[in-house]
Every structure is written in structure tokens, then in C-alpha cells.
Amino acid sequence: MRPNQRVQSLSLSTTLALDARAKEFVAAGRDVVNMTVGEPDFDAPAAVQEGAIAAVKSGKVRYTAAEGSASLRKAIAAHVSATRKVEFAPQEITVCHSAKHALSGACSALIEPGDEVLLLLPAWVSYSEIVRWAGGVPVSVPSRPDCGPDLDAVARAITPRTRGILINSPCNPSGYVMTQAEVRALGALAEKHDLWIVSDEIYRRLLYEGEPDLSPVSVSPALRARTVVVDGASKAFAMTGYRIGFVAAPREIAAAVGKLHSQLTGSPNYISQCAFERALTSEPPEVARMCTEFDARRRRIVAGLEALGLKTPWPRGAFYAFPRVTPWLDERGSGGFCEDLLEEQNLAVVPGSAFGVDEHVRFSYATSMAQIEKALQRLAAFLASRPAVKSARG
């Protein structure tokens, strides 16, 4: 028996595969610094934990509607309305099993077979596979050296078959946060060419400095009408294991995602719905403390990487640093660089090739400052043992 061609043609998530490899090394007794996975190393806030425990003890752990419980949809609608400064009704919210599930639901609800969907590089590992699984054709658009969107390249990539753009700000893997002008310019392109936008805003609370972020839904009613917001609990509330997320979209699209999930997955986990509702309604103080700690780590890791000669686009948000390692790459590219780094120095990071940009590697700094210091020492030893080569890639 063999899986079908559609599944065979999908690639495994590189980050999860590398995380698993690093964990195998640890199980074999090696002292690995694992900076692969994008998972806060903090516990979920106390209110979230209490919400989950109260749910378990409530005697109400049952199915909810496939779109999520009425009270959570209401809480999410209030939250999205307040943070994006534009009114959302509960009927425009569909609760999903995670942001990943929300992305696959949104793409499945929007994409017709053969539709082209623009992905701005560097793009999170799962986007291209989610688009392909939904029947679309992912089209990668190169970005500027600072990882910001190259608006001319986006305009050039649009063809009569283009139907949508998937954006992610703050960005995994670069930490780049789009300026408000960039969001407006992408929105104008979407309107001009009649495209939808899926805006993955999972990192929007992890924004450390500068101009506030801008969701396309906040730009104008016309743009709101062609945008699906994807968000969730994993990153902002350190709730990765709870698995809970949502789409906020025009009623018809939110309902379509709910219909799909009613057949494919059923209602989201009741306990996690209750825990997420607590997170949204109590604004736990732990979140601000977590952000302060991430900010300190961000400054330390970027300074450390730059001191080693690795040019690193300045990350305003998320919890990743994405230095350029071009001078140290051989013909195996960033994949080979990461393999050697793990093999020789027990330091696990993700190759940029997984995000469509082979010149970089990604460090997740969702790990302790002590681990970051260790990582920088190991990286220094690695680079010293591997003289920079003059690469044709510049």
C-alpha cells in the first residue's frame, strides 16, 4: 500500500524535521543547542492554565459548533475589532484547531484549481505546501536584501491567473515588519488586480519597536472585504500545545471555512477554546514580560551575529534572526551549512532554503539567554574552522 501522489508530492516541514533530528541527538547524549523551532520557551499564562482546568472540571467538555463556541467567537470578534480598529461580528470569525489549520482552511475556501498565489520570500515553510494542497500554484516573489517586500517584483509577478497574495508580518523567518506604506501598496495592487489577501498575523503581538503594524483590514472597507486574517494563540500566549487559532473574514468566507471544518475536523478542542477565551478576556501580564525578554534576546543575538560578520536584517518582530551566511556556503548551500553546524558544533538552526532563500539561515531566539550565548560561541568556533569562501552568490 502506498500514499497517493498528492501526499507524496508534499515535502515534510523542514523545521519540524530538524527539531526532531536535534532531539534525536539529545537522546543520544549530545549537548545540542536547539534553535530550530518557533516555540516560546515560556509557560502559558496562569489565567490560561486556570481556564483550561476550569473547562475540564465544568462537565461541559463536549462538541461545540464547528465554527467554535459562541462565546469564544464573540471574544475573538471583540479582540480583532479592538486591535485592528475595524468592526468584526462573531459571524465573521471561525475558530480553528491552530493558525496552520486556519491557513489551510482559508486557502481551501479561496483557491480554485490552478490559481496562482503570490508568496513573498522569505516565506514560512508551510505556505507553498498549503497552497499546493488546496490546488493552487505557489509563486515565489523575491524580496529586498533587508527582507522587505519588493513591490515592483510583486507587480511583475502578477499574471491573469493570479488570485491571491499571502502575507506575513511580522515575518517568520526574517522578523521583518512591513511598514504601513508597504501594506497600503500591496493592498492597492490587490484591489487593482482583483486579488484576495490572506494576512497571517500570528506574530503581531511580538512587535518590539517602531511604527505599529497595520493589518490590510484596517486600511479601508474595500480591502477588508478582500482580506482573510489568520491569527492564533500559539506565539502571543505561549500556547503552542493547546492548538487553537482562527480566521477573521467576510461572513461568506468565514462560513465556508466553518463548513469545510464541519466535515473534515469537527469543532475545535473545547478545553483550548476556553483557555483561549481566558487569554483574550484577561490580557495576562505574562505576555508583556515575555515580550520584554524576547526583545533583550533579540538585541543580544543580532549584535552577536553581526560581531561575527553575519549581516542580519534587523528584526522588528517575531522571535527569529535571519543572518546572511553566503560567504560560508559551499555547493550544498544553507542545508549543508546547517548539517555541518549540527554535526560539528551541536548547534541546530534552520536553512534558509526551507524559506526559499538559500543565502540565509534562521535562528529562533525563543530560547534562554544562556543558550543564545552558547550558540554564539559555537557559531564562532564553526566559522573559525571554515574560512569564508568567495562565493559566486556574493
The residue ranges that bind ligand PLP (CB under 6 A) are: 38, 98-100, 124, 168, 172, 200, 202, 232, 234, 240, 245
Residue 129 corresponds to which cell in the numbers above?
505546501
What are the cell numbers at 164?
A: 491571491
Distance of closest approach, residue 108 Cβ to ligand PLP, in angstroms: 15
Closest CB 102 distance from ligand PLP, rounded Å = 7
Contact status, residue 106 vs residue 257, Cβ threshold 8 Å? yes
Give the nearest distance from C-beta 221 to ligand PLP in angstroms: 26
Nearer to ligand PLP, 38 or 268 (CB): 38
As measured in angstroms, the least distance from the Cβ of 119 to ligand PLP is 11
Which strand (E) or helix (H) includes residue 73?
helix 70-84
- What are the grid coordinates assigned to 392, written together? 559566486
Nearest CA to 367 out of 289, 286, 312, 301 is that of 301
Assess contact for 122 and 355: CB atoms under 8 A: yes
φ, ψ (nearest 5 deg) of residue 230 = -115, 135
- Output the smallest distance, CB 124 to ligand PLP, in A: 4
Q: Which is nearer to ligand PLP, 101 or 226 (CB)?
A: 101
Quick one: 168 or 215, whose CB is closer to ligand PLP? 168
**3-state secondary structure at position 95:** strand
Nearer to ligand PLP, 361 or 376 (CB): 361
CA distance 283 to 273: 16
Q: Indicate the residue among 236 and 329 with the shorter CB distance to ligand PLP.
A: 236
CA dihedral (283, 289, 291, 297) in degrees, to 10, reads: -170
Degrees (nearest 5) of the Cα angle 79, 81, 84? 100
What is the closest distance, in whole angstroms, from the C-beta atom of residue 296 to ligand PLP in the complex?
21
Measured from the CB atom, the residue of 55 and 119 that comes closer to ligand PLP is 119
Q: How far is CA 335 from CA 324, 341, 377, 380, in A?
A: 13, 10, 21, 18
d(CA 94, CA 103): 12
Nearest approach, Cβ of residue 381 and ligand PLP (Å): 29
Decide whether 217 or 383 has the Cβ nearer to ligand PLP: 217
Q: Which is nearer to ligand PLP, 107 or 383 (CB)?
A: 107
Q: Nearest distance from residue 127's CB to ligand PLP, in Å?
A: 8
Based on CB atoms, which residue is closest to ligand PLP, 109 or 329? 109
- Give the cell for residue 394: 556574493
For residue 46, give the 3-state DSSP assignment: helix
Distance CA(276)–CA(374), nearest Å, equals 34
The CA–CA distances, whole Å, from 6 to 10, 130, 133, 135 equal 7, 12, 8, 10
Burial class of residue 183 in the structure, from the number of CB atoms within 10 Å of its CB (0-12 exposed, 13-18 middle, 19+ buried): buried
CB closer to ligand PLP out of 175 and 335: 175
Shortest Å distance, C-beta 31 to ligand PLP:
25
Please state, in angstroms and rounded to a whole number, the distance separating the CA atoms of residues 77 and 91: 8
Strands 162-168 and 116-120: parallel
CB of 229 to ligand PLP, least distance (A): 12
